[in-house]
Protein backbone atom coordinates (compact mmCIF):
# COMPACT_ATOMS: atom_id res chain seq x y z
CA UNK A 1 0.00 0.00 0.00
CA UNK A 2 1.32 3.51 -0.81
CA UNK A 3 2.57 5.40 2.24
CA UNK A 4 1.85 9.09 2.83
CA UNK A 5 4.87 11.35 2.83
CA UNK A 6 5.06 14.65 4.73
CA UNK A 7 4.44 16.29 1.35
CA UNK A 8 1.15 14.56 0.57
CA UNK A 9 -2.15 16.12 -0.46
CA UNK A 10 -5.33 14.96 1.26
CA UNK A 11 -8.15 14.82 -1.32
CA UNK A 12 -11.83 14.87 -0.38
CA UNK A 13 -14.36 13.69 -2.96
CA UNK A 14 -11.64 11.45 -4.37
CA UNK A 15 -14.03 9.07 -6.14
CA UNK A 16 -16.06 11.82 -7.82
CA UNK A 17 -15.74 13.48 -11.20
CA UNK A 18 -13.43 16.29 -10.09
CA UNK A 19 -11.76 14.60 -7.11
CA UNK A 20 -10.60 11.62 -9.16
CA UNK A 21 -9.09 14.02 -11.72
CA UNK A 22 -7.27 15.87 -8.94
CA UNK A 23 -5.88 12.58 -7.61
CA UNK A 24 -4.68 11.48 -11.05
CA UNK A 25 -2.96 14.74 -11.95
CA UNK A 26 -1.27 15.06 -8.57
CA UNK A 27 0.08 11.52 -8.89
CA UNK A 28 1.25 12.21 -12.43
CA UNK A 29 3.10 15.23 -11.03
CA UNK A 30 4.93 12.98 -8.56
CA UNK A 31 3.00 14.12 -5.49
CA UNK A 32 1.97 11.90 -2.61
CA UNK A 33 -1.82 11.60 -2.36
CA UNK A 34 -4.07 10.45 0.45
CA UNK A 35 -7.61 9.89 -0.80
CA UNK A 36 -10.42 10.17 1.72
CA UNK A 37 -13.13 7.51 1.21
CA UNK A 38 -16.37 6.87 3.08
CA UNK A 39 -16.12 3.07 3.06
CA UNK A 40 -13.83 0.26 1.96
CA UNK A 41 -15.83 -0.38 -1.18
CA UNK A 42 -15.00 3.11 -2.44
CA UNK A 43 -11.27 2.47 -2.02
CA UNK A 44 -11.22 0.05 -4.96
CA UNK A 45 -12.26 2.86 -7.33
CA UNK A 46 -9.33 5.12 -6.36
CA UNK A 47 -6.11 5.22 -8.39
CA UNK A 48 -3.97 2.43 -6.84
CA UNK A 49 -0.97 4.76 -6.65
CA UNK A 50 -2.74 6.76 -3.94
CA UNK A 51 -3.12 5.83 -0.30
CA UNK A 52 -6.73 5.64 0.91
CA UNK A 53 -8.02 6.43 4.40
CA UNK A 54 -11.48 6.40 5.95
CA UNK A 55 -13.00 9.86 5.89
CA UNK A 56 -16.45 11.21 6.63
CA UNK A 57 -17.51 14.85 6.92
CA UNK A 58 -19.47 13.95 10.06
CA UNK A 59 -16.42 12.53 11.89
CA UNK A 60 -15.10 13.88 15.17
CA UNK A 61 -12.34 16.48 15.20
CA UNK A 62 -9.77 13.90 16.31
CA UNK A 63 -10.76 11.51 13.50
CA UNK A 64 -10.57 14.30 10.94
CA UNK A 65 -7.08 15.22 12.12
CA UNK A 66 -6.05 11.56 12.07
CA UNK A 67 -7.25 11.23 8.47
CA UNK A 68 -5.06 14.16 7.45
CA UNK A 69 -2.02 12.98 9.38
CA UNK A 70 1.27 13.42 7.44
CA UNK A 71 -0.45 15.60 4.83
CA UNK A 72 0.53 19.22 4.29
CA UNK A 73 -2.16 20.27 1.78
CA UNK A 74 -5.92 19.74 1.39
CA UNK A 75 -8.25 19.60 -1.61
CA UNK A 76 -11.69 20.41 -0.24
CA UNK A 77 -15.00 20.05 -2.02
CA UNK A 78 -18.60 20.15 -0.85
CA UNK A 79 -20.52 16.92 -1.50
CA UNK A 80 -23.80 17.86 -3.26
CA UNK A 81 -26.02 16.42 -0.46
CA UNK A 82 -24.39 18.69 2.15
CA UNK A 83 -26.03 22.10 2.55
CA UNK A 84 -25.13 22.72 6.21
CA UNK A 85 -21.48 23.61 5.64
CA UNK A 86 -21.14 25.16 9.09
CA UNK A 87 -21.82 21.74 10.60
CA UNK A 88 -19.94 19.54 8.13
CA UNK A 89 -17.26 21.56 6.28
CA UNK A 90 -16.16 24.12 8.84
CA UNK A 91 -14.91 21.36 11.22
CA UNK A 92 -12.84 19.86 8.38
CA UNK A 93 -11.26 23.28 7.82
CA UNK A 94 -10.61 23.65 11.56
CA UNK A 95 -8.98 20.20 11.65
CA UNK A 96 -6.80 21.16 8.70
CA UNK A 97 -5.68 24.33 10.47
CA UNK A 98 -4.93 22.36 13.66
CA UNK A 99 -2.90 19.95 11.51
CA UNK A 100 -0.87 22.88 10.13
CA UNK A 101 -2.04 22.33 6.56
CA UNK A 102 -0.15 24.86 4.40
CA UNK A 103 -2.74 25.21 1.60
CA UNK A 104 -6.44 24.50 1.22
CA UNK A 105 -7.65 24.40 -2.38
CA UNK A 106 -11.44 24.73 -2.29
CA UNK A 107 -13.63 23.75 -5.23
CA UNK A 108 -16.06 26.64 -5.29
CA UNK A 109 -18.50 27.94 -7.87
CA UNK A 110 -18.34 30.40 -10.75
CA UNK A 111 -19.82 33.75 -9.73
CA UNK A 112 -20.02 32.71 -6.08
CA UNK A 113 -18.86 36.16 -4.95
CA UNK A 114 -22.16 37.55 -6.27
CA UNK A 115 -24.40 34.81 -4.84
CA UNK A 116 -24.42 34.93 -1.06
CA UNK A 117 -27.13 32.28 -0.78
CA UNK A 118 -24.87 29.41 -1.90
CA UNK A 119 -23.07 27.11 0.57
CA UNK A 120 -19.85 27.78 -1.37
CA UNK A 121 -20.03 31.47 -0.47
CA UNK A 122 -20.21 30.62 3.24
CA UNK A 123 -17.16 28.35 2.95
CA UNK A 124 -15.15 31.00 1.12
CA UNK A 125 -16.07 33.58 3.77
CA UNK A 126 -15.09 31.24 6.60
CA UNK A 127 -11.72 30.47 5.04
CA UNK A 128 -11.06 34.19 4.75
CA UNK A 129 -12.36 34.90 8.26
CA UNK A 130 -9.94 32.49 9.93
CA UNK A 131 -7.05 33.58 7.70
CA UNK A 132 -6.66 30.12 6.17
CA UNK A 133 -4.11 29.57 3.37
CA UNK A 134 -6.81 29.20 0.72
CA UNK A 135 -6.93 28.96 -3.06
CA UNK A 136 -10.40 29.12 -4.62
CA UNK A 137 -11.18 27.33 -7.88
CA UNK A 138 -14.45 28.63 -9.37
CA UNK A 139 -15.31 26.46 -12.39
CA UNK A 140 -17.91 27.01 -15.08
CA UNK A 141 -20.40 24.28 -16.08
CA UNK A 142 -18.74 20.89 -16.46
CA UNK A 143 -18.73 19.19 -19.84
CA UNK A 144 -19.33 16.04 -17.80
CA UNK A 145 -22.87 17.23 -17.01
CA UNK A 146 -23.73 16.09 -20.54
CA UNK A 147 -22.07 12.69 -20.11
CA UNK A 148 -23.57 11.98 -16.67
CA UNK A 149 -26.61 13.95 -15.44
CA UNK A 150 -28.12 14.63 -18.89
CA UNK A 151 -26.70 11.58 -20.61
CA UNK A 152 -29.92 9.58 -20.78
CA UNK A 153 -31.74 12.06 -22.99
CA UNK A 154 -28.87 12.12 -25.47
CA UNK A 155 -28.38 8.34 -25.46
CA UNK A 156 -32.02 7.26 -25.43
CA UNK A 157 -33.93 10.12 -27.12
CA UNK A 158 -31.24 11.84 -29.23
CA UNK A 159 -32.00 15.16 -27.60
CA UNK A 160 -30.66 17.74 -25.18
CA UNK A 161 -33.74 18.76 -23.22
CA UNK A 162 -32.71 21.76 -21.12
CA UNK A 163 -34.26 25.23 -20.66
CA UNK A 164 -31.13 27.16 -21.64
CA UNK A 165 -32.80 29.28 -24.30
CA UNK A 166 -30.29 30.86 -26.66
CA UNK A 167 -27.69 31.24 -23.94
CA UNK A 168 -24.00 30.56 -24.42
CA UNK A 169 -21.76 28.61 -22.04
CA UNK A 170 -17.98 28.26 -21.83
CA UNK A 171 -18.00 24.64 -20.63
CA UNK A 172 -14.97 23.23 -18.82
CA UNK A 173 -13.69 19.65 -18.71
CA UNK A 174 -13.42 18.38 -15.11
CA UNK A 175 -10.07 16.86 -16.02
CA UNK A 176 -8.81 20.38 -16.68
CA UNK A 177 -9.90 21.34 -13.17
CA UNK A 178 -7.79 18.44 -11.91
CA UNK A 179 -4.81 19.75 -13.90
CA UNK A 180 -5.28 23.22 -12.47
CA UNK A 181 -5.53 21.87 -8.92
CA UNK A 182 -2.29 19.91 -9.35
CA UNK A 183 -0.60 23.03 -10.70
CA UNK A 184 -1.68 25.37 -7.90
CA UNK A 185 -0.62 22.77 -5.33
CA UNK A 186 2.85 22.37 -6.83
CA UNK A 187 3.84 25.87 -7.94
CA UNK A 188 4.21 28.97 -5.74
CA UNK A 189 2.10 32.08 -5.65
CA UNK A 190 -1.46 30.74 -5.42
CA UNK A 191 -2.33 31.13 -1.73
CA UNK A 192 -4.91 33.85 -1.27
CA UNK A 193 -5.98 33.71 -4.93
CA UNK A 194 -9.31 32.91 -6.60
CA UNK A 195 -9.50 31.58 -10.16
CA UNK A 196 -12.57 31.44 -12.39
CA UNK A 197 -12.08 28.47 -14.70
CA UNK A 198 -13.82 28.37 -18.07
CA UNK A 199 -13.15 26.75 -21.38
CA UNK A 200 -11.67 28.74 -24.24
CA UNK A 201 -14.81 28.33 -26.39
CA UNK A 202 -18.28 29.65 -25.78
CA UNK A 203 -21.02 27.42 -27.20
CA UNK A 204 -24.78 27.47 -27.56
CA UNK A 205 -26.60 24.25 -26.76
CA UNK A 206 -27.57 24.10 -30.42
CA UNK A 207 -23.85 24.05 -31.28
CA UNK A 208 -23.25 21.39 -28.63
CA UNK A 209 -25.94 19.28 -30.28
CA UNK A 210 -24.28 19.70 -33.69
CA UNK A 211 -20.90 18.61 -32.32
CA UNK A 212 -22.46 15.56 -30.68
CA UNK A 213 -24.23 14.75 -33.95
CA UNK A 214 -20.91 14.83 -35.81
CA UNK A 215 -19.14 12.69 -33.22
CA UNK A 216 -21.93 10.14 -32.77
CA UNK A 217 -22.94 9.89 -36.42
CA UNK A 218 -26.63 10.49 -35.71
CA UNK A 219 -28.74 13.61 -35.27
CA UNK A 220 -28.87 15.05 -31.76
CA UNK A 221 -31.29 17.94 -31.33
CA UNK A 222 -31.51 20.71 -28.78
CA UNK A 223 -35.18 20.71 -27.74
CA UNK A 224 -35.11 24.10 -25.92
CA UNK A 225 -38.14 23.57 -23.65
CA UNK A 226 -39.60 26.36 -21.56
CA UNK A 227 -38.62 26.42 -17.91
CA UNK A 228 -42.06 25.16 -16.86
CA UNK A 229 -42.08 22.33 -19.41
CA UNK A 230 -38.66 21.22 -18.17
CA UNK A 231 -39.66 21.34 -14.50
CA UNK A 232 -42.90 19.51 -15.23
CA UNK A 233 -41.01 16.71 -16.97
CA UNK A 234 -38.65 16.38 -14.00
CA UNK A 235 -41.65 16.11 -11.68
CA UNK A 236 -43.30 13.46 -13.89
CA UNK A 237 -40.05 11.47 -13.86
CA UNK A 238 -40.06 11.48 -10.04
CA UNK A 239 -37.27 13.95 -9.36
CA UNK A 240 -37.26 15.21 -5.74
CA UNK A 241 -38.40 18.78 -5.19
CA UNK A 242 -35.01 20.02 -3.96
CA UNK A 243 -33.39 18.74 -7.18
CA UNK A 244 -36.08 20.48 -9.24
CA UNK A 245 -35.43 23.75 -7.40
CA UNK A 246 -31.68 23.47 -8.02
CA UNK A 247 -32.25 22.83 -11.73
CA UNK A 248 -34.58 25.84 -11.88
CA UNK A 249 -31.90 28.08 -10.37
CA UNK A 250 -29.10 26.68 -12.54
CA UNK A 251 -30.81 27.33 -15.83
CA UNK A 252 -31.97 30.79 -14.87
CA UNK A 253 -28.29 31.56 -14.34
CA UNK A 254 -27.50 30.01 -17.72
CA UNK A 255 -30.15 32.12 -19.49
CA UNK A 256 -28.68 35.25 -17.92
CA UNK A 257 -25.45 34.35 -19.79
CA UNK A 258 -23.39 34.54 -16.60
CA UNK A 259 -21.52 31.43 -17.77
CA UNK A 260 -20.93 32.66 -21.32
CA UNK A 261 -17.48 34.21 -21.04
CA UNK A 262 -14.50 32.01 -22.00
CA UNK A 263 -11.04 32.57 -20.55
CA UNK A 264 -7.51 31.20 -20.73
CA UNK A 265 -6.96 30.50 -17.03
CA UNK A 266 -6.44 26.76 -17.64
CA UNK A 267 -3.77 27.55 -20.24
CA UNK A 268 -2.09 30.14 -18.02
CA UNK A 269 -2.07 27.97 -14.89
CA UNK A 270 -1.06 24.67 -16.50
CA UNK A 271 0.75 25.59 -19.71
CA UNK A 272 -1.80 23.65 -21.79
CA UNK A 273 -5.00 24.87 -23.46
CA UNK A 274 -8.39 23.91 -22.11
CA UNK A 275 -10.01 20.84 -23.65
CA UNK A 276 -12.41 21.64 -26.49
CA UNK A 277 -15.92 20.25 -26.34
CA UNK A 278 -15.30 18.28 -29.54
CA UNK A 279 -12.22 16.62 -28.03
CA UNK A 280 -14.22 15.82 -24.89
CA UNK A 281 -17.08 14.34 -26.93
CA UNK A 282 -14.69 12.17 -28.93
CA UNK A 283 -13.05 10.94 -25.73
CA UNK A 284 -16.37 10.14 -24.04
CA UNK A 285 -18.22 8.99 -27.18
CA UNK A 286 -19.01 5.50 -25.84
CA UNK A 287 -21.23 6.80 -23.02
CA UNK A 288 -23.84 8.09 -25.48
CA UNK A 289 -24.05 4.90 -27.55
CA UNK A 290 -27.50 3.27 -27.32
CA UNK A 291 -26.26 0.08 -25.66
CA UNK A 292 -23.98 1.73 -23.09
CA UNK A 293 -24.90 1.01 -19.45
CA UNK A 294 -25.83 3.83 -17.13
CA UNK A 295 -23.00 4.73 -14.70
CA UNK A 296 -23.33 4.64 -10.94
CA UNK A 297 -24.16 8.08 -9.48
CA UNK A 298 -21.04 10.16 -8.87
CA UNK A 299 -20.59 11.64 -5.39
CA UNK A 300 -18.95 14.78 -6.65
Q: How far apart are CA 176 and CA 142, in angstroms?
A: 10
Name the more confident of 42 and 138: 138
Among 36-40, 62-66, 290-294, name the most confident range: 62-66
CATH number at residue 122: 3.40.50.720
Same domain, 163 and 49: no
Span of 34-38, 41-45, 222-226, 279-283 with lowest mean pLDDT: 41-45
Same domain, 148 and 41: no
Same domain, 113 and 152: no
Total-model pTM:
0.92
pLDDT in tens, 186-235: 999 999 999 999 999 999 999 999 999 999 999 999 999 999 999 999 99
Percent of the chain past pLDDT 90, that is, above it, reads: 81
Residue 21, pLDDT above cutoff 50: yes
Model pLDDT, residue 196: 96
Q: How far apart are CA 235 and CA 115, in angstroms?
A: 26
- The residue range of the domain holding 123 is 8-139
Mean of all residue pLDDT scores within the chain: 93
Model pLDDT, residue 271: 97
CATH number at residue 150: 3.90.25.10
User: Is residue 268 situated within a structural domain?
Assistant: no
Model pLDDT, residue 39: 84
Same domain, 158 and 256: yes
CB crowding 144-174: b at 16 or more within 10 Å, else e: bbbbbeebebbbeebbbbbbbbebbbbbbbb
Same domain, 250 and 124: no
pLDDT in tens, 79-103: 888 889 999 999 999 999 999 999 9
User: How many separate domains does the chain show?
Assistant: 2
Same domain, 132 and 150: no
Among 41-45, 111-115, 124-128, name the most confident range: 124-128
Residue 297, pLDDT above cutoff 70: no
User: Is residue 293 situated within a structural domain?
Assistant: no
Torsion of CA 216, 221, 222, 228, to 10 degrees: -120
Same domain, 108 and 208: no
Amino acid sequence: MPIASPRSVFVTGSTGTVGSAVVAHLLDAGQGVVAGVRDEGDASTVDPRAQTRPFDFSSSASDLEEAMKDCDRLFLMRPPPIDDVRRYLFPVIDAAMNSRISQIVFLSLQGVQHNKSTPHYAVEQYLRQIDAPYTFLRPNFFMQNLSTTYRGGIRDRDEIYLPAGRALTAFIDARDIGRVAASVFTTPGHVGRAYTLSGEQTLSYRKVARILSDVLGRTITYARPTEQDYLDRLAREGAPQDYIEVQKMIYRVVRWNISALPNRKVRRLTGHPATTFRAFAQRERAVWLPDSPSPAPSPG
